[in-house]
Amino acid sequence: MKRYKSLLLFLVASTLVFQFITPEYTQAGTLNHKKVLVVYDGLSFHTAHSDNVAYIVRQLTSMGRQVTLTDLAHYKSKTVNEFDNIVYIVNTENNNNLSGKFENDLIQYKGHFFQIGGSLISKYSNLLRLRTQVASGTTRMSVHDQELEQILRGSDTRYISDGKGTLLGRVSMNGQKTGSIGILNEHNHIGYMANLTNNLSLKLLVADLLKKWLSIKGQGAAYLTLTDITPFSNFKVIRYVAKELYDRGIPFIAVAQPVFSHLKSDAMLRYLNVLNELQSRNGALFIGSPVVYKTDVNDNQLLQRQMDAFINTLADHHIAPLGISSQNYWLFDRQYRKQGLGFFSAVINTENDAHLYWRDKTETALVKETQLFSLPFQQVVSLNLPEWAQLDLPMNTALTYSITHFKTMSSIKQFLKEIDTYPITINDFMRNDLETKSSRHHIEQKNGEIFIDGAPINHDILKQIELKKQKIQKKKSQKQIIFARQNRFLILLFSSVLVLFIVFLLISRRYYKRKYLKD
């Protein structure tokens, strides 16, 4: 008994002692695994790498990682120690831009490291025993068994000829395999992508690499997402497409733009009817983030009030908005996070526009419970995968398709055909557990069912709204009849008076001539 007691004491004591030992690795290991620091050397506008930083940030936030973004110039010493995972993006060809602070910190750093572009930092290059080559001229790179040709304009393409780890992304020159684009050493948690440009195959490859590097398990789900639905859209087309998808058993997400005024007008009611119908056809409704065109507004709560009013209006009509689709930079802005994204637990992360309207910028992005990466469906189709292949996306992805492209019946049919035949599995978003909260309503999606304030939504509501619409139309037509009659009566009356006035004018003319014009 005494022995066991001593053993127990020893175990407890050593646990306590070990608490106070602070080797860097252990310290790093107790940190939040979801935080990632992204450091970049420059944005390289107007080059093939200009999209790299934005894309990687969007990728990582879609993977549920809390991204902190900084460039080398603003990098603060010892920052790396706060993060388990560092992604270093090199956009310039010459990575002698490496800042002393960052390089020094990396020497001591024990966490996970991933570099994109440039020459891999020597510490990690040595660990991987990496050998790279630079190919000049036209290089063909095959990624995911797809041929893509990278046309070089006076610059060279770096690739990996050998290294210690899993090599991904075959590079071939003149039909001969020469090397790989990416490498991942899972044991040391080091990843390297020799080259990244604005090409979907490369982007999917780096996403795959990052996912493995972050030890994210499971395959990403793809969701068909119809976007740009507004009160001015062609509702007939929307209804038709929704019905076709429903009949084919293809679930989808519908992103509808919010309305902030005239919420009780007939036009709004028609819009709500369409959204309700989309919901009834197994569409998961998302709200598109409103277009920002100025930031110098006096009312700091305006966006929040407007979004709240719109969500309340939707919920009042048994329409459940399950998330929001917004540009990636909103996740980095405190005001947009609070006033726009704050209502939802799900976000579709879209590409940033050229011009960003910051209100309160931070370095660290918000992480939402459910985040989808957005990818235009047409881009995915352009990969031209063979029918036998199956495209597996590394992260949960909203495959977006704007309804503005449905200009003709043939374009609609083409879209439906692509959806039917493309080798990608479209998932049902309804399976996710989600929550939306406004000032008056609590919307939940649980176990495939949607609840508004605790009550499940009734898909037969479509019928009820139809009846309501008919009633309103009847009332409207009665009002219109009264006004039409009033109009006709007044037009008749006034026209008659006008004729009388013309007669008076003719009489006046005679009198006038007689009195004033005769000599």
**Which residues contribute to the site for another protein (CB under 8 A)?**
261-262, 264-266, 479-480, 482-484, 486-487, 490-491, 493-495, 497-498, 500-502, 504-505, 507-509, 511-512, 515-516
Query: Going along 432-484, which residue ranges are E strands?
Result: 434-437, 442-446, 449-452, 455-456
Nearest CB to another protein, comparing residues 153 and 515: 515
Nearest CB to another protein, comparing residues 463 and 513: 513
Nearest CB to another protein, comparing residues 12 and 502: 502
In the complex, the smallest distance separating the C-beta of residue 494 from another protein, rounded to whole angstroms, is: 4
DSSP letter assigned to residue 251: -
In the complex, the smallest distance separating the C-beta of residue 508 from another protein, rounded to whole angstroms, is: 4
CA angle 185, 188, 192 (to 5 degrees): 45
Pairing of the two strands 455-456 and 449-452: antiparallel
Write the CA distances from 501 to 428, 508, 511, integer angstroms. Answer: 72, 10, 15
CA distance linking residue 291 with residue 273, whole number of Å: 23
Pairing of the two strands 321-327 and 283-288: parallel
In the complex, the smallest distance separating the C-beta of residue 491 from another protein, rounded to whole angstroms, is: 6
- DSSP track, 376-407: EHHHHHTT---TT-----SS-EEEEEEGGG--
Tokens matching residue 477: 């037509």
In the complex, the smallest distance separating the C-beta of residue 306 from another protein, rounded to whole angstroms, is: 11
Element (H, E) at 235: helix 235-247
In the complex, the smallest distance separating the C-beta of residue 266 from another protein, rounded to whole angstroms, is: 7
Nearest CB to another protein, comparing residues 10 and 483: 483
Backbone angles phi, psi at 33, to 5 degrees: -70, -15
CB burial class (10 A; 0-12, 13-18, 19+) of residue 60? buried
Nearest CB to another protein, comparing residues 132 and 306: 306
Q: Are 168 and 180 in contact (CB under 8 A)?
A: yes
Tokens matching residue 343: 């209502």
Nearest CB to another protein, comparing residues 4 and 511: 511
Query: Going along 438-500, which residue ranges are E strands?
Result: 442-446, 449-452, 455-456
In the complex, the smallest distance separating the C-beta of residue 196 from another protein, rounded to whole angstroms, is: 46
In the complex, the smallest distance separating the C-beta of residue 515 from another protein, rounded to whole angstroms, is: 7
In the complex, the smallest distance separating the C-beta of residue 325 from another protein, rounded to whole angstroms, is: 24
CA distance linking residue 20 with residue 16, whole number of Å: 7
Nearest CB to another protein, comparing residues 134 and 497: 497
Q: Are 234 and 279 in contact (CB under 8 A)?
A: no
In the complex, the smallest distance separating the C-beta of residue 511 from another protein, rounded to whole angstroms, is: 6
In the block, residue with structure tokens 């930079």:
329
Q: How many CB atoms lie within 10 A of CB 205?
A: 23
Nearest CB to another protein, comparing residues 236 and 515: 515
Nearest CB to another protein, comparing residues 302 and 498: 498
Backbone angles phi, psi at 71, to 5 degrees: -105, 170
Nearest CB to another protein, comparing residues 409 and 482: 482
In the complex, the smallest distance separating the C-beta of residue 115 from another protein, rounded to whole angstroms, is: 51
